[in-house]
């Protein structure tokens, strides 16, 4: 049971207190696909420019990602440049060049419309709706968004959310979308917009999941070395949705397990720049870290 993901494939230039890289492989679609590929088959829909190196596409193919939906357009590939201070939970955007991504219109290749699991990465909500009009009967539709779309295309976003099962956004975006300062009240307001499940990413503080009748909290894995948080949220989503697609189980208990697997995948991503850590990652490392997070949260309430 594979996943269809629509997102960006990009070049990132990143500066953190621990180093700096220029024009490395990035993009929401790239991080999500790479992470999810450790669990299930992935079909990616995106656009790159004529300057995009073949070796980057080959890396995604080596992970088993179906690139039939990745088109090469005349022009330059999407670029993002950012800086992090010692508070690694928030990036300062220094430059964004949409380039070929500005004219991106997702068109699903034959067969992609039958996908059972769909992730709409952080793109224009009007494009997210274009994708939903092309698919048939998915079991799960999950999406991400950001403050830019919440403020600039709110009505289009609200239409998208009516069709979404799971929304994955960060704490500030949750408050902005709801117009509520209190996170619990904000979560209730967002759930009323359509999603059955809201997953709130909180960086080094972990993840909160809200449904109509429950709240679940999962910690982030404590790390000694964090080099670059770029793409951590998309990597989280890839592990989360990838696990759900691999198991085919959408019970709340399994969704909670999926959230922990998402946290595991994000913890590896931040250990190096770009996708470098995911390039060397093995399945036994994922399972071992999952067990370690489980031990972090185990306790006996009985004396």
Q: Is the pLDDT of residue 32 over 70?
A: yes
Tell which wins on pLDDT, 135 or 302: 135
Average of per-residue pLDDT across 168-185: 97
Q: How far is CA 251 from CA 189, 197, 211, 254, 268, in A?
A: 23, 11, 12, 5, 26
Task: Output the pLDDT for position 300.
Answer: 72
Task: Output the pLDDT for position 225.
Answer: 83
Average of per-residue pLDDT across 119-145: 95
* pLDDT tens string 3-12: 999 999 999 9
- For residue 134, is it within any domain? yes
% of residues, the chain, pLDDT over 70:
99
* pLDDT tens string 204-246: 899 999 999 999 999 999 998 889 999 999 999 999 999 999 9
Q: Is the pLDDT of residue 249 over 70?
A: yes
- For residue 303, is it within any domain? no
Q: Is the pLDDT of residue 302 over 80?
A: no
Task: Output the pLDDT for position 24.
Answer: 97
- For residue 29, is it within any domain? yes
pLDDT band at 87 (very low <50, low <70, confident <90, very high): confident
* pLDDT tens string 252-269: 999 999 999 999 999 999
- For residue 302, is it within any domain? no
Q: Is 299 helix (H, G, I), strand (E, B) or coil?
A: coil
The CA R_g of the chain, rounded to the nearest whole Å, is 18
CB-based contact 144:121 (threshold 8 Å): yes
% of residues, the chain, pLDDT over 90:
90
Q: Is the pLDDT of residue 88 over 90?
A: no
Q: Is the pLDDT of residue 116 over 60?
A: yes
pLDDT band at 1 (very low <50, low <70, confident <90, very high): low
Distance between CA atoms of residues 49 and 139, nearest Å: 33
Q: Is the pLDDT of residue 119 over 80?
A: yes
Of the candidates 204, 201, 16, which has an alpha carbon nearest to the alpha carbon of residue 92? 16
- For residue 268, is it within any domain? yes
Task: Output the pLDDT for position 183.
Answer: 97
pLDDT band at 303 (very low <50, low <70, confident <90, very high): low
Query: What domain count does the chain have?
Result: 1
Neighbour order of strands in the sheet with 166-170: 65-73, 42-49, 3-6, 117-120, 140-143, 166-170, 197-201, 207-210, 215-218
Q: Which domain holds residue 225?
A: 3-297
Mean pLDDT of the chain: 95
- The region that residue 19 occupies, defined by phi over 0 for left and psi between -120 and 50 for alpha, beta otherwise, is left
The residues facing 118 across adjacent strands are 4, 141
pTM for this predicted structure = 0.95
* pLDDT tens string 11-31: 999 999 999 999 999 999 999
192: domain CATH number is: 3.40.1190.20
Task: Output the pLDDT for position 255.
Answer: 97
Distance between CA atoms of residues 239 and 170, nearest Å: 16
């Amino acid at each position: 049971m594979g996943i269809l993901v629509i997102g960006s494939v990009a070049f990132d230039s990143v500066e953190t207190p621990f180093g700096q890289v220029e024009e490395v492989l990035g993009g929401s679609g790239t991080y999500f696909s790479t992470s999810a590929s450790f669990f299930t088959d992935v079909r990616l829909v995106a656009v790159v420019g004529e300057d995009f190196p073949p070796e980057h596409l080959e890396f995604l193919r080596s992970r088993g990602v179906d690139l039939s939906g990745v088109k090469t357009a005349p022009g330059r590939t999407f670029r993002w440049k950012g800086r992090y201070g010692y508070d690694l939970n928030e990036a300062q955007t220094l430059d964004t060049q949409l380039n070929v991504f500005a004219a991106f219109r997702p068109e699903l290749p034959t067969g992609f419309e039958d996908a059972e699991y769909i992730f709409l990465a952080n793109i224009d909500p009007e494009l997210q709706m274009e994708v939903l009009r092309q698919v048939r009967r998915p079991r799960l539709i999950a999406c991400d968004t950001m403050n830019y779309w919440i403020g600039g295309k709110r009505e289009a976003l609200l239409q998208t959310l009516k069709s979404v099962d799971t929304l994955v956004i960060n704490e500030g975006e949750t408050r902005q979308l709801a117009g509520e300062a209190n996170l619990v009240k904000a979560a209730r307001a967002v759930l009323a917009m359509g999603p059955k499940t809201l997953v709130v990413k909180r960086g080094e503080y972990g993840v909160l999941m809200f449904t109509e009748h429950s709240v679940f909290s999962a910690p982030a894995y404590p790390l000694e070395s964090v080099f670059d948080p770029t793409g951590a949220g998309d990597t989280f989503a890839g592990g989360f949705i990838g696990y759900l697609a691999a198991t085919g189980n959408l019970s709340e208990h399994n969704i909670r397990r999926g959230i922990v697997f998402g946290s595991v995948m994000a913890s590896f991503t931040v250990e190096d720049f770009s996708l470098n850590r995911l390039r060397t990652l093995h399945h036994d490392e994922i399972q071992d870290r999952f067990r370690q997070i489980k031990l972090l949260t185990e306790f006996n309430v009985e004396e």
